A = this chain, B = another copy of it.
Amino acid sequence: MTTFSKEVNQTNKTISMENCIVGVVDDHVLFAQSLQGLINSFDGFEVALMARNGNDLINKLSTVNKEPSIILLDINMPIMNGFETIAWLNENKPNIKVITLSMDDDEETIIKMLKAGSKGYLLKDIHPDTLHLALTEVLTKGHFYTDNVTTALLRGVSKKDEESLLENFSSRELEFMELACSDKTYKEIANEMCLSPKTIDNYRDTLFKKLEVKSRIGLVLYALKNKIVNN
Contacts and interface: CB of A to CB of B under 8 A. Distances in A.
Interface in A158-203: 180-185
Nearest to A225: B231
A197 B211 CA distance: 27
Contacts of A132: 1
A60 interface: no
Interface in A105-147: 124-129, 131-132
Identify which of A28, A43, A125 gathers the most chain B CB atoms within 10 Å of its CB: A125
Given A10-B12, A13-B7, A132-B1, A124 B28 contact: yes
Contacts of A35: 30, 34
A28 B127 CA distance: 8
Q: How many copies does the complex hold?
A: 2
Contacts of A33: 38, 128
Interface residues of A, number: 49
A220 B219 CA distance: 11
A63 interface: no
Given A4-B38, A220-B220, A224-B231, A30 B182 contact: no
A221 to B, nearest CB: 6
Given A7-B8, A29-B126, A125-B30, A221 B220 contact: yes
Query: Which 3 A-B pairs rank lowest in CB-CB distance, beginning with the nearest?
Result: A34-B34, A183-B218, A7-B41
